[in-house]
Amino acid sequence: MQTKISGMGMYLPEQIYTSEEVEEKAGFSRLGAKKGLVRMLTGCETRHYAAEDEWCSDIAAKAGMEAIRDAGMDPQDIDAVIFGAITRDFAEPATVNRVIDILGIKDCYGFDIFNACNAFIGGIDLADSLIKTGKAEHVLVTCGEVLSRWTKFDYTDKEELLMRAPVSLSVGDGGGAFVISGTTDEDDSRIIDTKFRSIANLWEHGVIWGGGVVYPKSSDRLFVPGTVKALTDQHKEVATEFVKPMLEKNHWSVDDVDCFLPTQIANWVVKNARIALNAREDQFYEVIKTTGNVGACNIALTTCMAKEAGKIGQGSRVAMVGGAAGMNIGAILARL
Amino acid sequence: MNMDIIKKEIREILSEYTDLDVSRIGDQDLLFDDWAMTSVVIVQVFVTIQEKYGISMQDEVNMQAPVSIQYIAEIVMEKINRKEEPVLN
């Protein structure tokens, strides 16, 4: 049994903010900090923010419905749903339950997966396993990020602002989803390989301390920290020591990849990884300029937007590459 | 505009964002590796350079590049020269 991506969908909330607007909101002028830092450091010019009454599950359900339609299916065809994101509606129950309820799926099961920015691709890997072991036929993997609500804006100290905000203000909200389905040997479309690794000695970098048992009552610690240097320092090694061997194992040259679909924290990080891989500029698709860093949804959004732009389509060979706090690395090779 | 003037101006800009004595920083010294400067210092310098010279530094941002005063000055010089190149009809 093989699996394939049989449908994909995305959703971006209506409100758009420029980097200058969020810098103003965070107090750049008030604290005497130079504006323009978010765009300069990350390449992010705009990002979408969820409406006040939009939850992660709303966004994930909208993206999920788009993916189901793209697959030519009905929600009732889905027998498992995986919600993979950084943000969630609440501590309990799993956010996926509300997603399933919104979609009106009557006979399925679901669960959430959390692994920072790698939650979505981790969900794809799990869906692949569920199908291959006969536990499901069509799995909806969906993500709905509302990182704007975990963004610190109430800075009172300029030094802290400058340490965190140039990265943390680049985050945005959005949803993306894939339907993963079983396929036959005759079908060219398939998930070729998946590979993941944890570099757990880096766990202390990029921690969102709130929301867990370490600081159970401190909502003021529930924000994206913006301190990711130790993680971004790994990106060239990820390209050469993780992605390249994976391509070689599957008899793909770098040139064989029609499109690399990376998680996106800053455009210089993607550029360095591309150079380390010896790949061409046109082999990469980036969305951080208009969507910002949408956490676990980055790869889903990048894939959907690349398809919308005509960059990829039926038969395209793609390499999804994720790096996440933890630190966790993951890659998925697929032919669409 | 010559390189010496550009380097002097870059030092002045750098001094706005660091407490270090910029006169001690050699032209070739690596600002990240030799002087432990943070990315936010360099980004502020780049934004200020953009405003001062009317050039874009966005494509030059790379926190793993060997950033030195000389390195920055060469980028600025090249961009100023390109800006000033006459457009041939």
pLDDT digits (tens, 9 = 90+) for A65-123: 999 999 999 999 999 999 999 999 999 999 999 999 999 999 999 999 999 999 999 99
- What dihedral do alpha carbons A235, A239, A241, A242 form, nearest 10°? 100
Q: In Å, how far is A100's CA from the nearest CA of chain B? A: 43
Coil, helix or strand at residue A138: strand
pLDDT of residue B85: 67
> Residue A316: what are its φ and ψ, rounded to 5°?
-70, 140
Instruction: State both tokens at A88.
Output: 């969630």
Residue B89 predicted with pLDDT over 60? no
Q: Which positions in chain B touch A273 (Cβ < 8 Å)?
A: none
Contacts with A242 (C-beta within 8 Å, 6 or more apart), sequence order? A195, A197, A329, A331
Coil, helix or strand at residue A91: coil
Instruction: State both tokens at A8.
Output: 């994909």
Cα–Cα distances in angstroms (integers) from residue A287 to residues A47, A213, A228, A270, A302, in the given order: 10, 35, 19, 11, 6
Instruction: State both tokens at B25.
Output: 């920083």
Whether A2-183 and A190-335 share one fold: the answer is: yes
A330, A122 contact by CB (below 8 A):
yes
Closest residue of A to B42, CA-based?
A41
| Cβ atoms < 10 Å from Cβ of B2 | 8
User: How do residues A3-26 score in pLDDT, each as one tens digit?
Assistant: 999 999 999 999 999 999 999 999
Q: Which positions in chain A touch B57 (Cβ < 8 Å)?
A: 40
User: What distance in Å separates the CA atoms of residue A257 and residue A317, rounded to the nearest whole number?
Assistant: 5
With 0-12 CB in 10 A as exposed, 13-18 as middle and 19+ as buried, what is A45? middle
Contact B40 A166 (CB under 8 A): yes
* Closest to B44 measured CA to CA, from B33, B57, B34: B57
Residue type, B70: Q
| Residue that has been written with the tokens 């949804």 in this structure | A297
Q: Which positions in chain B touch A39 (Cβ < 8 Å)?
A: 58
Q: Which positions in chain A touch B44 (Cβ < 8 Å)?
A: 34, 37, 162
Element (H, E) at A164: helix A158-168
Closest residue of B to A35, CA-based?
B47
Average confidence (pLDDT) over B33-59: 94
User: What distance in Å separates the CA atoms of residue A5 and residue A1, rounded to the nearest whole number?
Assistant: 14
What's the CATH fold of domain A190-335?
Peroxisomal Thiolase; Chain A, domain 1 (3.40.47)
User: How do residues A21-70 score in pLDDT, each as one tens digit?
Assistant: 999 999 999 999 999 999 999 999 999 999 999 999 999 999 999 999 99
| Cβ atoms < 10 Å from Cβ of B32 | 17
> Residue A63: what are its φ and ψ, rounded to 5°?
-65, -40
Complex ipTM, two decimals? Answer: 0.92
CATH number of A2-183: 3.40.47.10
Coil, helix or strand at residue A303: helix
- Residue percentage of chain B with pLDDT more than 70: 94
Residue type, A314: Q
User: What distance in Å separates the CA atoms of residue B86 and residue B17, rounded to the nearest whole number?
Assistant: 35
Closest residue of A to B46, CA-based?
A40
- What dihedral do alpha carbons B65, B68, B74, B80 form, nearest 10°? 90
Instruction: State both tokens at B61.
Output: 């941002």
Laid out side by side, the sheet with A317-324 consists of: A190-198, A328-335, A317-324, A259-262
Closest residue of B to A36, CA-based?
B47
The residue ranges of every structural domain in chain A are: 2-183, 190-335
A5, A183 contact by CB (below 8 A):
no
User: How do residues A202-250 score in pLDDT, each as one tens digit?
Assistant: 898 889 988 889 988 887 888 888 777 777 777 888 888 889 999 999 9
* Beta-bridge mates of residue A196: A330
Contact A40 B62 (CB under 8 A): no
Average confidence (pLDDT) over B54-60: 94
Average confidence (pLDDT) over B17-21: 93
| DSSP assignment letter at A234 | T
When comparing pLDDT for B35 and B85, which is higher? B35
Could you give the angle at the alpha carbon of A316 between the alpha carbons of A283 and A130, nearest 5°?
115
Residue type, A119: A
When comparing pLDDT for A207 and A131, which is higher? A131
* Domains of chain B: residue spans and CATH: 3-84 (1.10.1200.10)
Q: How far apart are the first and last CA of chain A?
A: 17
